[in-house]
Every structure is written in C-alpha cells, then in structure tokens.
Amino acid sequence: MIDSTGCISPHGTLFWTSLQLAVRHPIRLGVTVACLVVVLTPFLVGQAILEGVRAEAFESVDSGPDLFVTGYEYGRNASMPEKLVRHAVAHPSVAAARGRIVGRSYLGETLATVVGLEASPGRPVPAKGEAWLGHSVAGLLNLKVGDELAFADQAEIRLIVTRILPIDAGFATSRLIITSLTDAQTLYRTPGRISDLQVWAKSDLNSAQGLLAIAAHLRGSQVPIRVQTRKMVEDYVDRGFTIKGGSFLALYLVAFAVVIPSLLVTTGFGLSVRRQEIGLLKALGFSVLDVMEMTFIETSIVSALAAGLAFLVAWVWLRLLGGALVASLFVAGLEQGGPVVVPATFGPLPLLTGLGFSFLLLTTGAAFTAYRAAIARPMEALR
Amino acid sequence: MPTDEASAAGHIGSDRLLSGFGTARALAVSIFLVSLSTTVLLVWEGRGPTSRVTREIQNTLGGLGLGATVVPVWSHRGFDPRLDPVCESEDYPIPEAPCFAPDHGGTVFDLPSLRELEGLPHLVPRARGKTARGVPQESGRP
Amino acid sequence: MSRCTSVRLLAVTKVFQPGTSGESAALSNLTVSFESGGLHLVWGPSGSGKTTLLTIVGALDAPTSGDVTIDGLSLGGLSEPELCRLRRHRIGFLFQRPFFFPGMPVWDNVSIGLVSDGFPARRRREIAAGWLERLGLIDKLDRPPELLSGGEFHRVSLARALVADPDVILADEPTAQLDAENSTNVIAILQERAAAGCVVIVTSHDPTVRRSARRLAQLDHGRLIFSGEVSG
C-alpha cells in the first residue's frame, strides 16, 4: 500500500468526485436541470400567488369588524336602512358601528368597485364630492389628482379625485373608487340605505355570548339580516384556499407524472453507460456505500441547483416581470388591464417542497440503477 | 512508488491541478451562488407579506376583498363572499356544475360557499392575538 | 519493505448462464498457483478462459465453485466491503478493453481508486504523475483520455493498475497496441514489480511477453493444460 499520510475524510473526496462525475455529461446535466426548472417554476409561482392572495385576504379580515351585517332578501344579500347603524350603536356591548356601500359601476368600458364610506374619528375617508381611486382604475381612466370623475348615467355626480392609492395598496383595492357614503347613496339612487353594516364589540364583551346578544339585538330591528362573525370569515378563508390549493397541487402532480419519464431517462434509469461507470468504480475498489453516497450527492446537487434556479426564475417572473402570462391564471381580472401588483409571497415551504419533489424524482431514476449496478459483481456491470 | 520522480517532475504546477476540477468548481460555485441568492431573497420576502399602505387602506375600508379577483364581474362572491354569499352563475345554466363566472370560476383559487357556514356566531379572537385595528373610538356612534 | 505474495486457485470452475441453453464453462476445475518473483504468463487461444481467470483472481467476478486465496486469505469468505478494500489496496487490474471516465483528466482517471481512502486531489495527481512519467505519458497528465491514442490509452490503464502499489497485478494483454519500445518498457515495469514481491499475472499473445515470463500456465477450453517454467 502507498503512504496514506495527508489523507482527508473520504466523504470530502467523494463529494468532489461526485461533482466531477456530474459535470462530465454537461448536456445531460443541463437537460435534467432545465426539465426540473420548467416543472418547478409555475408551481412556485402559483404557490407564491396563493400565499400572497391569502395574506391580503387575512389583512382584509383583520381590518374588518367583529360582526359583518348585510340585508337578506330572496336568499341573497340586500341593502338595509341606514337607521340600523343607530340601532346597533344603542346596544351597550357595541363599541362602534359603521355603514358602508359596496357596489359596481361601469365607467365606459372600465368596471370598478365603488365603496361609500361613512366618516368616523381617526379614520380619514373622502369628503362629499371627493373620490379616491385605486391605482389600476386611475390608469385605465387616465385620471390624476385634481381631475373630475363623472358617471355617464348620473350627471349630478361630479367627484374630484383627491387621492390615487399607491400601486402596492393591495390588488383588491386597485379597481376601487372610494367615495363618501352620501355620494355613493346618490350614485346608486338609494338614499338612506347601506349595503353592509360593520359592528365592533367592546373588547371585554367580545365573546360568543356578547356577539350573540348583539346579533339578537340587530335582528330585533325587524330588518331581515345576515350576520357573519370575524371567526366565520377567517374559517372559510382558511378552508377555501386550502381546498383550491389542493386542486392546484393535484394538477401539478399530473404534470410531474408527465415529466417523470424524461427525468428518469436523463438520470440514467436503465442507461448502460451509467451501469458500466459504476462497474468500473466497483472494480477500482469503491464499495456499495461509496457508490450510493456519490449518487446521493449527485442527485442532491442537481436538485438543489434546479430548485434554487426555479425559485429565482419564479421570483424574477413575479417581482420583475409582473407575472406576465401566468398571473391571470391565478388572479381573475388582471387580463382586463391596468397596473396591478400581483400579490405574491415567497416562503421557504414551497421551495423545500420543490426541492423534495426534485430529489425524489432524480433519486428514483438514479438510485435504482446505481444500486443494482453497485451490488452486482464488477464484471457483470462492465459487460 | 517513484516519489522521487514525482517531485523531480517539476512542471506539476498548482494551476494544472485545476484543469480537472475547473468545471466541478464551476458547478460548486454555481450552486453556492444560487443558494445564496435564494436565501437572500427568502430573507427579504420574510419582511412581511403585506405593505404598510395595504394595512392602512384596509383599515380605512373596514376590510374589503377576500378572493383572488381584482374586480367583481358577474357577482361579488369571488371578490368578497361577505358581500354576497352566492354566485348566481353557480345555478345557471347548469345547477351544481362548475361556475362560469370569470371572477369566480376563472381562477384556480376560490372560496367555498358560505351556505354551509351560516349559523351562530363563534368565539372571536380579536385580530388574531394582536391589538385590534380599525376600531373606532368606543364612544358610541362615530 | 519486501513482500512475498502468493495466489492460489483451488478447483475453480466458472460457468456462465448456468441452467440455460447458453450455458458455457469458461473454467473447469482449475487448480494453479502463482508466486511472486517473476512474470506469470497465462497462455491459450481465444476463449480458453484467460480473461475469466484474471477477473476471478482480481475479485471482479466470483467462481461458480472452487476457491481463490491471496496469501492464504480466501476470497470466497470475504464480505462485500472486504472485497472492495482488497480491490482497492491489493489488486491492480489492467483491462484488455479499456474503461475510463471521459472528460476527467488522465491523472484523475489513473488515481480515482484512491478517492475512497481520502487521498486529496493534489496528492493523487502527484502519485499519478509518477507512474505516468515512467510510462512516458507525463505530457498527457491533464488531458482527457478520449484524446489519447490506443497505445497511450493502454499505458494509462496500466498506470491506474499500479497506482495503489498493489500486491497482485493482473494485466490482460498489457502490450496490446504498443510499439516495441513501449512494450519493452511496460514489460520491464512488470518484471520490476514481480521482483519487488508482487504476483504479476499477464495474458498475452505477444512473443516478447512470452520470452520475458518466468512461468507459464496454458489453458484450453477452460482447462489447465500446462503449468511450469517457461522454456526457450
């Protein structure tokens, strides 16, 4: 035997040798990584948008009232008399109540959501005759601060744009026209009526019993109403995105099933060349564990590279390219135009999931061939 | 082992050592750079999913918008189910069939029907453990 | 350090594809010994079992029956990890058909067997350079093997067989595709290793090798026809 002075851990030398063996077939390596990136990138984009939408949804829930009240007619929501606000405030458990109008209106070809807000201390809203515009609708209507907003079928309504919401104010606000409650009532010809009532309970009385009491008090007004609590809303938002996300994931597994055969080929499943390489390693004294360790290192390297590249591509695609061509699959209404920041949140879990998928796929292809060749006699593998 | 010949070879330079490792090192460096970039971006993204101005506007609105829809086209259900629990397209033209509403059925994300959730109010954790936001002064009607 | 190695085959039989219509006995009840101190030539026509004998001695394949011992150590009784260590440290094999890793430089191909022992790259390159210089290939140190000629390929393969300073050197047609000068050099190296206490077993049709061998084992259809000193 030769002098082994200066030897280091075999795991270190096996690591570098694994890298060398991986780069000996650059085309195969490139194709494998490219396949994985192509499959993983839309998955990461979709997951990021899902998390972004979910985050903004919970922001909306958190900002909402303890009780959300709407009128109820023919099994659908209906408007309510504004006096219900005073009725709500009269209950001792109610900290505050506010009426609101949320409706739709077309301005030319542009559909916008109109929100009429009642003024309250510490919460600035547009004054009568003023309007705040979402960034997208301002762009579509080519309006800026100081311009006049007119509604075709309501000549008596003239609103001055006093604020344009920034582009990062949330995608749900991008097509809003926010006015005073009075202006919204005039716009929809519903004086003295609101579309929903927001009720906040006093903190020490914010319990099931307290909310029940408030709801019973509101129903005592004889106005047919629907009452939703914040917890109800949280529950169905959480459940909803989970369900649809599962459908998305199921579709994605189908995509993986399509790409699996190509990956198995590129990773050497059944490749006689790979088998011979392993046979040669065995002939030169590599053990089964050495071969499997090198296979594991190679698949880990390629998985990490592919998952990382897919993440970077997804990030650039969403953050820098605005999710072009893909965001409208996940968020409806984007195709109608107007500048909107696509909601997206990149977290570690989808990346780790993508990494796990890649590793599983690559290992399935590579480990099977490697193990079969490694446990065989070297000459059997070399033939 | 002719170690004396090896040391006498002379022209075994350290630069030559890299010839076989050039591409392997390039791969290792690539992986490192990709991992570093990914980590930096993940940390940057971790600063919070929503911006300050988003919270401010939602506070002003009292919470609006829950679904993956920019604007309600056929119904408010896809935009914010609180506003309208029912998408009328769910029952037309084919009841219980997939919804044709572009703001509801036109995305892979959706929220369930509220019909099965209507009922008594549940215990409400105020703002999920944080100080309540958007609550007007507790002095009665604002 | 002096060493004295011996390799013994005891009633070794190797049957390929047993129990099928393609069944063939490459070796039949072969008993032969190989000692250090000189070249052992395994001689015979094509298909006589020469390569099979080498692969079984080199622990690259297992006999159907019988046993192989190296310095009294039975290969049949070794576990897989022990066989791997044996191949790595005590056996050097020169394949008739060269197997290499394309794209990896020659020095890396030559010394890759040292990776499992933790030899760092710099050290492996030095070790490989020593043997490549002896074989007149020092200028090919950093080239990929696919750029080598047939003869250079073969000499690099020999360097790989010698790099770990093995006790048993098995060379299948070591002078194939070599000119006279290089053939002489290769034979000289093998004789030197034999004199240093290694068991050197070669198969060859080259008359130069036959003249340089000390002992001859002649095979025919897997059977040992003759074993003894080389005459003339």
Q: Write the pLDDT tens digit of every residue in B19-70.
A: 445 678 888 899 999 999 999 999 988 877 678 888 899 999 999 998 888 8
Q: Do C84 and A14 touch (CB under 8 A)?
A: no
Query: How far away is chain B from the Cα of A108, in angstroms, using its nearest Cα?
Result: 14
Please report residues of B whose CB lies closer than 8 A to that of A125.
Answer: 60
Measured CA to CA in angstroms, residue C51 lies from A6, A260, C61, C90, C104 at distances of: 36, 40, 11, 19, 27
Identify the domain containing residue B28 by its residue range.
Answer: 22-58
Cβ of residue A111 closer than 8 Å to a chain B Cβ: yes
Q: Do B122 and A229 touch (CB under 8 A)?
A: yes
Query: What average pLDDT does the segment B126-140 reach?
Result: 38
Query: How far away is chain C from the Cα of A309, in angstroms, using its nearest Cα?
Result: 25
Are B78 and B110 in a shared domain?
yes
Please tell me the total count of domains within chain B. Answer: 2
Tell me: pLDDT of B5 over 50. no
Task: Identify any residues that bridge with A78 across adjacent strands, giving them in sequence order.
Answer: A71
Mutation for C interface: A4, A9, A13, most C CBs within 10 A: A13
Tell me: pLDDT of A266 over 80. no
Tell me: pLDDT of B16 over 60. no
Please indicate, yes or no, if residue B27 is contained in any of the structural domains: yes
- Report percent pLDDT > 70 for chain A: 93
Cβ of residue C100 closer than 8 Å to a chain B Cβ: no
d(CA B120, CA A229): 9
DSSP C112: G
Confidence of residue A91 (pLDDT cuts 50, 70, 90): very high
Q: What is the pLDDT of residue C162?
A: 95
By C-alpha distance, the chain A residue nearest B86 is A76
Are B33 and B70 in a shared domain?
no
Chain segment A269-291, per-residue pLDDT in tens: 556 778 888 999 999 999 999 99
Please report residues of B whose CB lies closer than 8 A to that of C125.
Answer: 12, 16-17
- Residues 299-328, chain A, touching B (beta carbon < 8 A): 301, 304-305, 308-309, 311-312, 315
Q: Do A285 and C88 touch (CB under 8 A)?
A: yes
Confidence of residue B4 (pLDDT cuts 50, 70, 90): very low
Cβ of residue B2 closer than 8 Å to a chain C Cβ: yes
Per-residue pLDDT of chain C (232 residues; tens, 9 = 90+): 457 689 999 999 999 988 888 888 899 999 999 998 889 999 999 889 999 999 999 999 999 999 999 999 999 999 999 999 999 999 999 998 878 998 889 999 999 999 999 999 999 999 999 999 999 999 999 998 888 988 898 899 999 999 999 999 999 999 988 889 999 999 999 999 999 999 999 999 888 899 999 999 999 999 999 898 876 5
Q: In which element (H, E) is residue C16 found? A: strand C6-16
Query: How far away is chain C from the Cα of A273, in angstroms, using its nearest Cα?
Result: 10
- Residues 45-64, chain C, touching A (beta carbon < 8 A): 55, 58, 60-62
Are B54 and B78 in a shared domain?
no
Q: Do A170 and B65 touch (CB under 8 A)?
A: yes
Are B54 and B77 in a shared domain?
no
Q: Do A1 and C87 touch (CB under 8 A)?
A: no
Q: What is the pLDDT of residue A270?
A: 55
Q: Please list, residue by residue across A280-295, b when 16 or more beta carbons sit within 10 angstroms of its beta carbon and e when fewer do.
A: bbbbbbbbbebbbbbb
pTM of the model: 0.80
Choose among C186, C188, C192, C182: nearest CA to C172. Answer: C186
The runs of H, that is alpha helices, within A76-192 are 83-89, 135-141, 181-187
Please report residues of A whose CB lies closer than 8 A to that of B130.
Answer: 62
DSSP A123: B
Please report residues of C whose CB lies closer than 8 A to that of B25.
Answer: none
Chain segment A136-195, per-residue pLDDT in tens: 999 999 999 999 998 877 777 889 999 999 988 988 899 999 999 999 999 999 999 999
**C156 or A337: whose pLDDT is higher?**
C156
Residue identified by tokens 């490989």 is C128
Q: What is the pLDDT of residue A84?
A: 95
- Nearest CB neighbour to C121, from listed B2, B7, B17: B17
Ranking A14-23, A338-347, B4-13, C17-26 by mean pLDDT, the lowest is B4-13
Chain segment A110-122, per-residue pLDDT in tens: 889 999 999 888 7
Chain segment C166-181, per-residue pLDDT in tens: 999 999 999 988 889 9
B70 in Cβ contact with A331 (< 8 Å): yes
d(CA A16, CA B24): 7
Are B44 and B76 in a shared domain?
no
- Residues 202-231, chain C, touching B (beta carbon < 8 A): none
Confidence of residue A127 (pLDDT cuts 50, 70, 90): very high
Q: Do C125 and B17 touch (CB under 8 A)?
A: yes
By C-alpha distance, the chain C residue nearest A20 is C104
Size of interface A-B (CB pairs under 8 A): 315
Subunits with 3+ C-beta pairs closer than 8 A to B: A, C
Please report residues of A whose CB lies closer than 8 A to that of B140.
Answer: 89, 96
Tell me: pLDDT of A264 over 80. no
Please indicate, yes or no, if residue B48 is contained in any of the structural domains: yes
Cβ of residue B13 closer than 8 Å to a chain C Cβ: no
Please indicate, yes or no, if residue B136 is contained in any of the structural domains: no
- Nearest CB neighbour to A379, from listed C60, C113, C117: C60
Domain spans, chain A: 11-59+236-382, 67-205
Give the per-residue SS3 of chain B.
CCHHHHHHCCCCCHHHHHHHHHHHHHHHHHHHHHHHHHHHHHHHHCCCCCCHHHHHHHHHHCCCCCCCECCCCCCCCCCCCCCCCCCHHHHCCCCCCCCCCCCCCCCCCCCCCCHHHCCCCCCCCHHHHCCCCCCCCCCCCC
Query: What average pLDDT does the segment A2-23 reach?
Result: 85
- Nearest CB neighbour to B12, from listed C105, C121, C126: C126
Please indicate, yes or no, if residue B94 is contained in any of the structural domains: yes
Subunits with 3+ C-beta pairs closer than 8 A to A: B, C
Please indicate, yes or no, if residue B3 is contained in any of the structural domains: no
- Nearest CB neighbour to C118, from listed A9, A21, A23: A9
Strands C168-172 vs C91-94: parallel, antiparallel or unpaired:
parallel
Cβ count within 10 A of residue C107 = 31
End-to-end CA distance of chain A: 29
Give the per-residue SS3 of A309-368.
HHHHHHHHHHHHCCCCCCHHHHCECHHHCCCCCCCCCCCHHHHHHHHHHHHHHHHHHHHH
Residue identified by tokens 């072969």 is C30
d(CA C59, CA C67): 11
Six-digit token string for A92: 């001792």
